[in-house]
Amino acid sequence: MPRASADARPVALTGMMAAGKSTVAAHLGRLLRRPVVSTDAEVERRAGKPIARIFAEEGEPAFRALEREVLAGLAGPAVVDLGGGAFCDAETQARLLETATVVFLDVSAAEAARRLGGGEGRPLAKRWEELLAARLPLYRRAHHTLRVDGLAAEAVARRIAELLAAAPSAGSSASEVEREAGGAGEDSP
């Protein structure tokens, strides 16, 4: 099992809905023996209401401000499960690129549709693809990119732990790790 790195920087997971950020974060936290922080859950806790209500009553700028507060308060080597739009906020992105190791969990539209369920989900799939088109150039600024199609959350967490062990502190260059859904089994690294 990979050991926790001496690097005390948080590891922030970014990506679209259905990329597996929350599940991977839980596994990665256990692997690295680090606490896991969900920015969405922490924003809801601080606001005392669900995200949908924050958006409806106060708007996205208020939500993003709360999200920035949560991230500013991070201390130590946590695994951070970012909401899908967090890394798209310029201030949040700049802070994370400087203070954390950011990993983009890249999931294809087909895999996301499979994970989200089919049938009635087609309008959601169309909106998902529109959001991805807007967010992808921003997600690509992450320190590492990991294609997650066909991989179990445990395998994704192990691969991230391996990336961190190989390059414990984030540098200025990003690494790209692609996995094809076609030959990757659940236990593939």
* Cβ-proximal residues to 13 (8 Å cutoff; 6+ apart), any chain: 21, 24, 25, 28, 79, 80, 81, 82, 103, 105, 160
pTM (two decimals): 0.83
User: Does residue 2 form part of some domain?
Assistant: no
Q: What is the pLDDT of residue 33?
A: 96
CA 169 to chain centre: 17
Give binding residues for ATP as ranges: 18-23, 122
Separation CA 154–CA 174 (nearest Å): 23
For residue 113, what pLDDT is reported?
A: 84
* In a domain? residue 186: no
The CATH number of whichever domain residue 105 belongs to comes to 3.40.50.300
Residue 117 has a pLDDT of 76
- For tokens 């169309």, the residue is 126
How many domains does the chain fold into?
1
In a domain, 5, yes or no: no
Going by the annotation, the residues of the binding site for Mg(2+) are 22
- Domain membership flag for residue 188: no
Residue stretches of the annotated binding site for substrate: 40, 64, 84, 135
Nearest to 115 by CA among 23, 177, 8: 23
Return the pLDDT at 118: 58
Q: Please choose, from the candidates 98, 67, 99, the residue with its C-alpha nearest in 3D space to the C-alpha of residue 83.
A: 67
At residue 4, the 3 state secondary structure works out as coil
The CA distance from 107 to 184, in Å, is 14
Please tell me the predicted confidence (pLDDT) of residue 5.
44
Which residues line the annotated binding site? 18-23, 40, 64, 84, 122, 135
* Cα-based distances in Å from 161 to 45, 51, 99, 123: 29, 30, 18, 35
Residue type, position 161, single letter: A
* Domain span at 116: 11-177
Among candidate residues 184, 185, 148, 173, the one with its CA nearest the CA of residue 28: 148
Q: What is the pLDDT of residue 15?
A: 96
Would you give per-residue pLDDT tens digits along the chain (189 residues)?
444 444 689 999 999 989 999 999 999 999 999 999 999 999 999 999 999 999 999 999 999 999 999 999 887 899 999 999 999 999 999 999 999 999 999 999 889 888 887 545 445 667 888 999 999 999 999 999 999 999 999 999 999 999 999 875 544 344 454 433 333 333 333
Question: Does some domain include residue 138?
Answer: yes
Contacts of 136 (CB under 8 A, 6+ apart): none
**Domain for residue 23, yes or no?**
yes
Note whether residue 184 is domain-resident: no
Q: Which pLDDT score is estimated for 124?
A: 62
Q: What does DSSP say about strands 79-81 and 11-14: parallel, antiparallel, or unpaired?
A: parallel
